[in-house]
Amino acid sequence: MDASTACWNQVQYARRQAFLNRKESEGNATVSQLKQAVKKTATQEEYRQKYIQQLSSSIPQQLVQKNWQTWDGFFELLKKYRNPEDDSVTDRPGLPGYWKEDGVRTLHTLLRNDTYTLSLGKRSRLRIPLGKELKEKYGIGYHEKLTLEVRGRPHWEGKQGRLELVYDRETESFTAHQSVGNDTHTPSRRTSTHSHLLATTDGEDVVAAVDIGANNLAACTTSRGDHCLFHGRPCFEDFHAYTREISRLQAMLPDGRYSSKRIREVYRKRSVKRDHAMDALIQHLAEWLAEHNVTELIVGDLSDVLKTYWSARVNEKNHLFWAHGRFRRRLHEVVEAEYGIMVREKSEANTSSRCPHCGTENVHRSGDLLQCRTCGVEAHADVAGSMNFLVTETAVEYRDLNQGGSMARPAAPGQNRLGDAVACFEWDDHCWRQRDHSTKEEPANHTRQGKFPSGDPGTA
């Protein structure tokens, strides 16, 4: 992996220099001219010969190929940036970077699909190629491959693609990322067939809108009047407990130091747990949408409504825990790419300040409760926001959404109200579970009071 990173960085340096030199010598060079100058700078054969003894012949080829993919994407962005008629890219794109962090190489390697073997079972194994020099150094036979134990199982199956191995120095662990499928062999989940993932229709186009928040991570309404809500407070309390632990550790550092291995590990675990809950939520939401035959989902683009508040806790919730950009990206990757439900982004500004029954703005909001002073309706503010969002962006009318019965109202954690036409889900550190009025059980490992599960932020 160290040799692979060295190879990547050398290719990157050569191509960056070619770009900068061509740009400096010809200030008016077109994107196509810059692209050709960069592409011909490094060849697969050149680096195959240079690193074949350590990496075998295929790995340098994969590194040069993937490196060019990053440059190809850069030139696409540069072309849009230079086009005065295209305003999709307003900031100058940065040059592709090195595999390096804080002056130290970050260890990666790439394996071509036909050079490694992944055997899954009770004792899963990964077999990868090595160059002659490394085989001799570690006593591996000429026709043998390095055999590694594998923990976990892939979620997808399909035609085996390229495998990337990454080493995390903070946790001293290796992670494998495998691509599967192609244009003719589409991937499918191991627990179901691909056809089950796609939303179906019974002749009526069902549209849904999702209101994204921090206290409640997502509230969704369909054009048939179905609702679902994902409570976010337990997730945030867990996230905030990690933040307090980071502050405590930082206070113990000597003057002049701002971080430590333990602090970086807590940061990482905080992000991993947040991302786990978010990914599970999006998967759960996608399945719920498919079950309700939704073919289009409208999601809020909050780039014009997010702001900084005087409260550090509120800013933490809105800008760190929320991770709104990642949430929207994952919606596209899962809901749109995997389930075939079109995702459309629109501004949801002021959608929680109208009555979801009569549409008036003469409302009062207190926490999760929205009360209409005109018609007297009480509703859950985030569910009301998703209803208003749907009405604003589609031809759906309020009367279409209010045919299902009583309005969803705020409920105590772990409890839905009788008669509420909404499915409320809570995170129990493993999955999102629906709690009804008869359920007494509380989710396991919740950190409502800010305490870490098992007494340690990293044990979950």
Alpha-carbon distance of 323 to 302, in angstroms, equals 11
**Residue span of the structural domain in which 138 resides:** 110-188
Distances (CA, A) of 12 to 20, 70, 95, 123, 406: 12, 10, 10, 38, 61
Residue 415: the pLDDT is 38
Instruction: Check pLDDT > 90 for residue 127.
Output: yes
Is there a single domain that holds both residue 420 and residue 311?
Answer: yes
- Strand extents, DSSP E, 223-318: 227-231, 294-300
Is there a single domain that holds both residue 233 and residue 333?
Answer: yes
Alpha-carbon distance of 292 to 191, in angstroms, equals 20
**What pairs with residue 296 in β-bridges?**
207, 342
Is there a single domain that holds both residue 227 and residue 299?
Answer: yes
Is there a single domain that holds both residue 177 and residue 321?
Answer: no
Over pLDDT 90: what percentage of the chain? 39
Segment 164-174 mean pLDDT: 88
Is there a single domain that holds both residue 211 and residue 307?
Answer: yes
Is there a single domain that holds both residue 158 and residue 284?
Answer: no
pLDDT in tens, 61-79: 999 999 999 999 999 999 9
Given 50, 73, 102, the domain boundary residue is: 102
189: left (phi over 0), alpha (psi -120 to 50) or beta: beta
pLDDT band at residue 313, thresholds of 50, 70 and 90? low
Tell me if 460 is assigned to some domain: no
Structure tokens at 27: 């200030």
Given 62, 77, 102, the domain boundary residue is: 102
Beta pairing class for 117-119 and 342-346: unpaired
Q: What are phi and psi of 73, to 5 degrees?
A: -65, -40
Sign of the CA dihedral running 275, 276, 278, 282: positive
Tell me if 380 is assigned to some domain: yes
Instruction: Check pLDDT > 60 for residue 416.
Output: no
Is there a single domain that holds both residue 65 and residue 208?
Answer: no
Structure tokens at 166: 């990454």
Edge to edge, the sheet with strand 342-346 lists 342-346, 294-300, 206-212, 216-222, 227-231, 423-427, 432-434
Residue 51: the pLDDT is 94
pLDDT band at residue 327, thresholds of 50, 70 and 90? confident
- Strand extents, DSSP E, 304-358: 342-346
Residue 202: the pLDDT is 53
| DSSP of 266-284 | HHHHHHHHHHHHHHHHHHH
Given 42, 77, 102, the domain boundary residue is: 102
Instruction: Quote the pTM value.
Output: 0.64
Tell me if 194 is assigned to some domain: no
Alpha-carbon distance of 180 to 19, in angstroms, equals 33
For the chain, the domain total comes to 3
Contacts of 171 (CB under 8 A, 6+ apart): 265, 268
Tell me if 147 is assigned to some domain: yes
Q: What value does the mean pLDDT of the chain take?
A: 81
Instruction: Check pLDDT > 50 for residue 120.
Output: yes
Instruction: Check pLDDT > 60 for residue 200.
Output: no
Is there a single domain that holds both residue 235 and residue 376?
Answer: yes
Is there a single domain that holds both residue 71 and residue 135?
Answer: no
Beta pairing class for 108-111 and 294-300: unpaired
Tell me if 184 is assigned to some domain: yes
Segment 137-155 mean pLDDT: 88
Instruction: Check pLDDT > 90 for residue 35.
Output: yes
Is there a single domain that holds both residue 249 and residue 276?
Answer: yes
Is there a single domain that holds both residue 372 and residue 344?
Answer: yes
DSSP for residue 41: T
Instruction: Check pLDDT > 50 for residue 309.
Output: no
Beta pairing class for 423-427 and 432-434: antiparallel
Tell me if 395 is assigned to some domain: yes
3-state secondary structure of 285: helix
191 near 157, Cβ under 8 Å?
no
Specify the higher pLDDT residue, 269 or 323: 269
Distances (CA, A) of 171 to 116, 148, 267: 25, 18, 12
3-state secondary structure of 447: coil
Residue carrying the six token digits 């220099």 = 17
Tell me if 71 is assigned to some domain: yes
Alpha-carbon distance of 265 to 270, in angstroms, equals 9
pLDDT in tens, 417-435: 333 557 889 888 888 988 6
Segment 389-418 mean pLDDT: 61
pLDDT in tens, 218-244: 899 999 888 999 988 888 888 889 999
Tell me if 193 is assigned to some domain: no
Is there a single domain that holds both residue 184 and residue 158?
Answer: yes
